[in-house]
Structure formats: structure tokens, C-alpha cells
Structure 1
Amino acid sequence: MDKKKATPLHRRDLLKDAAAVSLAGAVASLGMLANAQENVSVAQDAAKIQQPASRSSLIRDENAKPGARDWQLTRVRLDKAGGVRSSPIEGYCSKQSVMAAETVNFKVSTAAPQKFKIEIFRTGYYGGRGARLMTTLGPFDGTPQAVPPIGEKRIRECQWESCTTLTIPEDWPSGVYLGRLTTESDASGHGYWQNYLIFIVRDDRPADILLQCSDNTWQAYNQWPDHESLYTHPDGVQGPWADVSFDRPYGKYSQIFENPQTIGSGEWLCFEFPMAYWLEQHGYDVTYCSNSDMLTPERGLKCKAFISNGHDEYWDIRQYESVVKMRDEGVNLLFLSGNSVCWVTPFRESSAGDPNRIIFRGGPYGGDYRWAQEREKNFGPYPHHGPDEGYLMGVRNLRPVNGGGDWICTRPDHWIFADTGMKQGEAIPGLIGWEFHGDPPTDLAGLEVIAEGTALNGGVNPAPWASTIYPGPKGNFVFNASTIWWCQGLASPPGHWLPWSHWSRPHGPDERVQQITHNLLRRALG
């Protein structure tokens, strides 16, 4: 998946055929292929670029530690063909994010009484291996835990017993952590089964870069246990009718590709991990947070740059207000994402009283923008309405928002393209998708369109997209890449597969995307 080489179609076909009963063989062979390809890095030249002096060597020191050779899922099984649930073993965490010295509970169910262990890995670069083993917990006695009935607004809210409580060690750095659940072989000797659970370790130190995980969007699309998400309500896919809870496992991701590494890991390995892998590869001083950690601006105000990554669709209005405050106080904003700030998504507490554990699609961002009004007419009425996101991001969500295309340079003289060699009209193939932004506000002072073109939905229906940059009030800037797939051009780490959708796909790591991102970060970090 490196060297700008197209992903062979037979890999996806192979895995799709295997997904019905057991994906074990496909996972093992494809995981080895991904690791082998990762050893050949297209980022060798970019790695020589002199980086700004970081506030801390924490990330460089962490990545000097040995990575794990075995951290991916090897043996997984779906309950049924076309399903999302893997009930032999599955689990979730009691919190989206946790700080050192705080506790997180792990809630795990096994289909039959059976012992299991939990290996905790921090994802990062680690010499190209992609993760480090932090600790192993167990063995524990696994038992079946009840699938909750469908509740009001079709919510599925588990109330599982905890198998263990983990106090985060003081020396665990901020990052995205995977708990790999592995059963012991059953009594008949049929082997073990695996799944993930996922949580974020955050901190409050001053750092150069704050990377926000798009976990609200992971949960919005999560269909566990069987077709229950914000997109599966009988009344329609865009209305405010459904609630979803973080108190449930992540099922297999149900769009774009058939990727068994998504079981239990949300959308992290699909659409976001390449960004973290690449940042840590180059020693950037990065710290991590959940969407739910951005309800006030204090965390972001301690950082020089804020990155929205991947598919960042669902924002509580307090997140929006926090990021506006950060921009106005001089933090550089990098929307290396698509379909971002699309829906107002209020948090509320769980039935047990735990904060920020339930979300729903409260209404559109967009203010008086025409597509926001169209959504209100077609799918409302909504109880919430957000401001025009174009005045924060520089571009808006428009209709159609789905499609794919090439990312086309229109301002080769701009500093963002320094040392890329890009020329007017030069394209980075397949980088736009599968959702994007466009229609920049014409009255936003200093805004420049640095790339633009047309995306096609299903290879047919055209929609304009635009990538923009505009100055903030204190010498800072706001950049919008206008694509979910930006980080696909940075790296293709172990555990990650290239996605495809709407008859288009990114081609993988590209030295121009890498150089543009270096240019943005060098400017942001001074």
C-alpha cells in the first residue's frame, strides 16, 4: 500500500468472500503483506526535512522504544454473513478518554464461559511496526453478557459488568490505545478468537499539536449489534430520531471496504491512524483527544496547532465554540478532514449518569446556507441548528457531499506548495473522497482557494470541491484540505487498508501530500 501503487482489487474481493464465516486466513495474509510493504517507505526524503524545535521530546523518546511484532487481529469471526457483530469475544470501555492516574473499566462478553486476556497497545510509529505493547491483563473468566433491548429512539445501551479496572500509569503518554481481546482455545480445541476495544489517553501538557480523534463519527456509524446507528432508523437516515450510546462495542465498519481490523476499533485504523503514524514517525510533538474533550477550549489553547482528522462529521456546539475561541486566540487550525462540522451533536449522560455517553443528530450546521435549509426541509424539523461552518473551516458541507476525484493544485506559487514541484493544474490522483467540502464564503477576509475541482458520485453526478486557507487574527491560519482521505497520502501503516468509494480511491502515500503537510506544520509551529 506504499509507493503510490494502486491497491490490487483481488485483495478486497478475497476478504469480502471470507467475511461470511471466518476472516482469519485473509487477515493473517493481508496483515503480513501490509507490514512487508510498510518496510519500503516513500517518506525517506521527507524524513530528512528539518523540523521546528518541539516543546518536548516525549513522542520521539516514546517511538524509540521497541514496537510490537504482533498487535493486529489474526482470528476473527462474524456472527453472520453481512453482519457487524463478532460475539465470540467483544467489549467496550467506560470512557472515551482518560488521563494518567485515572481509571477506565473494561466491559467484556464472551459467547460461552471462557478465559481471555487483554493486551493493551499504544498505536504510533515505533520503527514502522505501528504499536507498542504496554501491558497484558488477565486471564479473566469470560461469560456471556446481555445484548440490551432496543430502547427509546432505538438506543442500544449496554450495562455490562466490568472484568477489570485499569489505572492509567503515569508514564503512559497520550495516544490512541487498543485493547486486544483474545480468548483461550475452547474445550474442543477449536482455537482462539480476537476483537479490539479502544480508548484515548489524554494529557494537559503544553504541546505543539493537538490531534482530535473523530470518535463521535465512529459511534454515529457503529451498527452494533445489528443495524443500529444514526443511519438505520426506519423513519430515515438523516433525521433526529435515533440515539446512539458509547456503552456498547464497536462492530465491524460497514462502509467503504470489508476490513476485519475495524472490529472493535471504530474508524481509527481506517481513516485516522495514518496521520498519527506519520506525525510520530517524524517526531512531531503531538498529543491526542476525543471529541468529548473539546467541549471547552482550555486543552486546545495550550497547543500551537489543532488537527481535525479523517471523517469528523459530528460536533457538539460546544466543540464548535471551543475551536472558534482557539482560532481567535492564535491557534492554527488544520482541517485535514472531510464532511467535518456537519451535524450539531449534543452529548448527554448515560442512564447510569456517566457524562457524554449518548449522542444524536440534533440538526445541521450551516446557518442560513442553502443546504442547511434543504436538510431542514427534507429531514427535519430539528431541535438544534448550528452556525455556518464555512466561517470557521473556510468551506462548507454541500450537496452532494459524497464522491471522489483528484486533488488539483490551483495556486502553485503559494507557500503551501514550497518544495513540492507542483504546477498549475497538477493532480494528486484519488485524494478527494469520499466526502469533501466546497463553496467557500466569498466574504471571508483573506481567504484563498489553493486547490479545487470536481468530484463524481458513483462516477456520474458532479459536485465542486475546494481546498482553502485564510488568516487568523493573530498571525495564525486556518487550512482545509477538503477530503476525508488526506491522511491516506501520508502513510499506510500496519493494520490500515486503503479505502475506496463512489468509483474512486486514494492511491496511498504521496511525497507531495507529505511535503504540503510538513509546510503547514512548519508554519504553524514557527
Structure 2
Amino acid sequence: MRTGQIRRWQSGALAHGATDPFGQGPLPWLRDDANYVDDEGRVMPWYVEHPQAGREPGVVDAPAGAGTGPRVVRPRRSPGPRTANDVDRQIKGFASSGSVTPGGSVDFRITVNPPQQFSVDVYRIGHYGGDGARLISSSPRLSGIVQPPPLVAGRTVSCHHWWQSWRLQVPAHWAPGAHVAVLTTADGHRSHVPFTVRDDRPADLLLLLPDITWQAYNLYPEDGRTGASLYHAWDDEGRLVGEEDAATTVSFDRPYAGAGLPLHVGHAYDFVRWAERHGYDLAYADARDLHAGRVDPSRHLGLVFPGHDEYWSAPMRAAAERARDGGTSLVFLSANTMYWQVETAPSPAGDPDRLISCRKHPAGSRRRRSLWRETGRPEQLLLGIQYAGRVPEPHPLVVRNASHWLWEATGAKEGDRIERLVAGEADRYFPRVPLPESTERILLAHSPYRDAAGVRRHQETSLYRAPSGAWVFAAGTFAWSPALDRPGHTDARIQRATANLLDRVCKRD
């Protein structure tokens, strides 16, 4: 396999790469200089298999006492763990719950092929002096088994019948946050399982990780046969088919495709690293915690939605609206937020909120509307702007109303262009769509771009203040969070503007 080539079933981004132009970037726990580096010295994204993994070219030595005799080839050391895939399933796993409080436990269900020992290293995402994560716990050597094949009902794939492999008892002293369990087999294959340690204490900001949207995009297993997301599935010839033939229900009881990390997870991690570096008081939870009422937004000054957060249930929206109307600010740092309405259901084993359903296309003559804007409650009523479309190539974000406090001390002037900040997908203000009630409202960017058909369109960034005093900010682009702490994408103006916003939300002004 040539460097940079992506196998169909290992892509992790093949079907959706156009919506995430940033890639995953190097992972903090893969800092060995032999890992994931191509022949030109470039660090490869996690979803690209190292071309020589497990079969490095030999190192040529002269035999002892030899002058010009034949030379001996000895094996070079392995370049490190190789990414597991969904065909061979060298090691794949998932967590039995999305979030857990300190003192609780997380059960992992893991398949290992061929059966052998494996270990689990748990990392917490944060700044950590630029490392991006810290190893906080390691399992003993565990015995791995080949779990049964996934169960498929229609297009819904579930592994709820897998045996429990390991229980992580979360110590009471652990700091809440975004965590990743790194699974590694004895023969050097690796996969990942994300989970959240939830914080129930009052804090200035509650960070909500978009696990429902992550699962909507999950194509596991990417095997050319059975995997399905809310976007794609496989036909009988192993080709990807689109939404009309995709799943209408997806399960959390399965690993994430490819290396085991959600497609857009890096957007959230970018914000986490930046916010923790600057000392913001953060609590953590998942979207399903907001849905189920496990978090109380009124205990926080602001709710932060750090990444692509496209799929919302009615209870999620109601909770966000109550928060805003009660004086809790809302910060949306991406685009295409709250576009599809979803419902949750228990797993076949009875565990709540393990199934997510979104029917996007008509079923016979009956159709239940799934777009929020088709239900009479468009996104703009909460966000102040709403989804406008994809951005095939990055464009500059053009500053508007540069005298506003958000742009204070950024150096940005009216009409300045912040390069490549409108990317992936974009939102804008729709004049014919109702606006939320507000005491003040302003657009802070107005950025022209061309869509895939070459039609000229524009992106906008919005801020309004609700009658309760809550601020509601919507970035309107995928590139905002990566500009905070993604190597190669950071921008000091966006970093300062975000600090201005959060300081205002946290009453630091």
C-alpha cells in the first residue's frame, strides 16, 4: 500500500472527508518519532496505515570479520503499534456508557483477533505543556478473545451481546474531562475508545461533547459489507451508498470505525487543550447527559458546544432553551448545529439511550419531519443563524463590526480577512426565518465563498443577548475550534476573540 493511500474500510474519513478539512492530526500518545511518519518526514493522520508497519526494510550490516564479503540483512525495529481495521478486527472495543462520574466505573467490551493478551492505557485530553494528553492509568495484561460478529437488524449494527472484557474503576480523585482508552495487543495493533468523566459540580463553563453526532457518522464496521451510519452503508458489491439506503437507527453498542475515534473528535479536543491551558473553569458532560437531564445547566454561567454538533433531540433543545432563558450563555464553536432532530431508545438489553434514530427520507406516503427547520422551529430561533451549506475549499473569514468588544485587542480591522477560517461547512443569517428574542444582536463576520457548483454564497458569525442577559454566540464555521490549538491552523485573533467571549460569559469583563 503506497504512503497516503487509504483503504476503503480503513478510511474513517473517506465518506465524510469533505466535511472535515482538518484531519485528525498527530495523537499525543503517538509521539515516538518512528510512528506514522512517511518517507518525506510528514506525520500521517491516524486513519492512514503506515506503509511499512510490521515489515520495515532491513538494516544492512557487514558480517563480523568481513571485508568486502556478502552483507547480512537484519530486521529493523518495528515502527510501533499499527492501527487496527474493521476487516481483520485485530482489536476493537467500545464503552458500555458514554460518561461516568468520579467513583463510578466504565465497562469495556473488546474483541481481539487472533486471541492474545492486550493492555489498556487511559489518557486524559488537556494542554499538559503542549503534549495534548496525559497517561493517567494502565491496565494489567488482559486476556483477549474473539467476540461474536456484530448483529445486524436492517441497517442497524450492534455489539451489545459482546462479553465484558475489562472494568475501569474511576478513582474519586480523577479530574473530569475528555478521556481516551488506548487498546494495544501484544503483537502491536492499536485502537481507541473515547469516554467522558462527567463533572456534576458547579463550574463557570459546562463543555458538552457531541457524542450523538459522533455516532451518527460512525460507519462501523467499515468492512465493505455490513457497516452503516446515518449517511452511508454498503451495497452487495461493497460500494458505499448514500442516505436513501443508509441506517435510520444507529447504536452506541459498537466501536467507532477505523482507529476507533469519532470522525470530528479533534474539533472538541482543540477547544479542550486551549481552554485548559488558559485556566477556564470547566465541567464536562456528553450530549446524551443533556438529553437525559443528568446535568443542570443553571449551575453554570455558560454551556460550550465545542465541535460539530448536528444531531439534537427535543429534550436537548428544550434544555438549551431553558438555560438561555434562565441566564446561562450558549457558545457554539462550529457550524451546522442542531440540523437534524433525533430520538433515542434503549438497547435490546434495556440500557437507556443506546439507540439513535433519524428518519431522513420518506417511508411510503408517510414522513415524520426530521429537519428542525421543517418542524416550525428552525435552528435560527436558538442560534441566531443556521446552516447554509458545505464549503469545498477553505476561504477567508471577513471581519465585520470590528469595533465590537469580541474583536477587542485582536488587531482585527473592518474587512480584514482571516485566511482559511471559513471551511468545512458554514452558517448564515436567513432574513425570512424568525429570529430569537433579543436585547441586542450583531453579525461579526460576513464572508463570501463559492460552493461546489461555483455559486457565490456567504458565511456569517452571530452574537445576540437574550432578555435574560445570556449571550448566544455561533461561530458559523468548522474552522473556529481548530484555530484555537490545532498545529498549522492556529490564529491569534481567533484565540483572543474567543477569550473575550468566554471572559464576558464568565463575568470577567
Q: How does the TM-score come out when normalised to structure 1?
A: 0.75
How far 1:74 sits from its partner (Å)?
Answer: 4.7
Q: Does residue 452 of the first structure (1) align with residue 438 of the second (2)? A: no
Matching of residue 228 in structure 1 with residue 228 in structure 2: yes
Counterpart in 2 of 1:517? 498
Alpha-carbon distance in 2 for matches of 1:403, 1:214: 25
Residue 90 of structure 1 is matched in structure 2 by 92
Equivalent position of 1:208 in the other structure: 204
CA 426–468 in structure 1, closer or farther in 2 if over 3 Å, else same: same
Quote the Cα distance in structure 1 between the aligned partners of 2:365 and 2:106: 38
Superposed CA RMSD? 3.1
Is 1:266 aligned with 2:266?
A: no
Equivalent of residue 432 in structure 1, options 395, 417, 422: 422
| CA distances 1:54-88 after superposition (whole Å, capped 9, x unpaired) | xxxxxxxxxxxxxxxxxxx9522454xxxx55611
Choose the corresponding residue for 1:471, options 465, 475, 489. Answer: 465
Distance 1:400-1:19 versus aligned 2 partners, 3 A rule: closer
Kept in 2, the 8 Å contact 1:118–1:181? The answer is yes
Secondary structure of the 1:318 match is: helix
> Which residue identity does 1:447 align to in structure 2?
R
Aligned equivalents of 1:19, 1:381: Cα separation in 2:
33
Check 1:242–1:20 CA distance in 2 against 1; reply closer, same or farther (3 A cut): closer
Question: Please, which of 124, 127, 140 is the counterpart of residue 126 of structure 2?
Answer: 124
1:305/1:85 CA distance change after superposition, 3 Å: farther
Paired position in structure 1 for 2:65:
none
Please state if 1:411 is matched with 2:401: yes
Q: Please give the per-residue CA displacement for 1:159-187, whole angstroms capped at 9, x wherever unaligned.
A: 211112122110111111111111113xx
Q: 1:268 to 1:165 in 2, by over 3 A?
A: farther
CA distance 1:340–1:489, shift in 2 (3 Å): same
Distance (whole Å) between structure 1 residues aligned to residue 389 and residue 138 of structure 2: 47
Report the more deviating stretch, 236-245 or 432-441.
236-245
Which secondary structure state, in structure 2, belongs to the residue aligned with residue 489 of structure 1? helix
State whether residues 78 and 87 of structure 1, in contact with CA within 8 Å, keep that contact through their aligned partners in structure 2.
yes
SS at the partner of 2:276?
Answer: helix
1:356 aligns with 2:353: yes
Q: Deviations over 1:114-134 (max 9, x none)?
A: 000101111111111111211
Provide the rounded CA distance (Å) in 2 between the counterparts of 1:238 and 1:409: 39
Q: Which has the higher contact order (CA 8 A, sep 6+)?
A: 1
State the distance in 2 between where 1:26 and 1:360 align: 42
Contact in 1 for aligned 2:110/2:164 (Cα 8 Å): yes
Q: Distance in 1 between matches of 2:427 and 2:87?
A: 32
Q: What is the aligned partner in structure 1 of residue 156 from structure 2?
A: 154
Give the CA deviation at 1:395. 0.6
What corresponds to 1:48 in structure 2? none
User: Where does residue 288 of structure 1 map in the other structure?
Assistant: 284
- Length-normalised TM-score, structure 2: 0.78
Q: Which structure shows the higher helix fraction?
A: 1
1:137 pairs with 2:127: no
Partner SS for 1:420:
coil
How far off its partner does 1:398 sit?
Answer: 3.0
Report matched runs for 1:192-203 at 5 Å.
192-203=188-199
Which of the pair has more CA radius of gyration? 2
> In structure 1, how many angstroms separate the alpha carbons of the residues matched to 2:126 and 2:264?
12
Q: Tell whether the 8 Å contact from 2:116 to 2:143 is kept in structure 1 after alignment.
A: yes
Q: CA deviation at 1:20?
A: 8.8
Aligned to 2:15: none
- Following superposition of structure 1 onto structure 2, how do residues 370-449 of structure 1 map, counting pairs within 5 Å? 381-382=367-368, 384=370, 386=372, 387-399=377-389, 404-440=394-430, 441=433, 443-444=435-436, 445=438, 446-449=440-443
Secondary structure at the counterpart of residue 521 of structure 1: helix
Describe the shift of the 1:362–1:208 C-alpha distance in structure 2 as closer, same or farther (beyond 3 A). farther
Amino acid at match of 1:28: Y
Structure 1 residues 352 and 434: CA distance shift in structure 2, 3 A: same
Amino acid at match of 1:250: Y
Question: What runs of 5+ residues in structure 2 fail to find an aligned partner?
Answer: 12-25, 45-78, 236-240
Higher strand share: 2
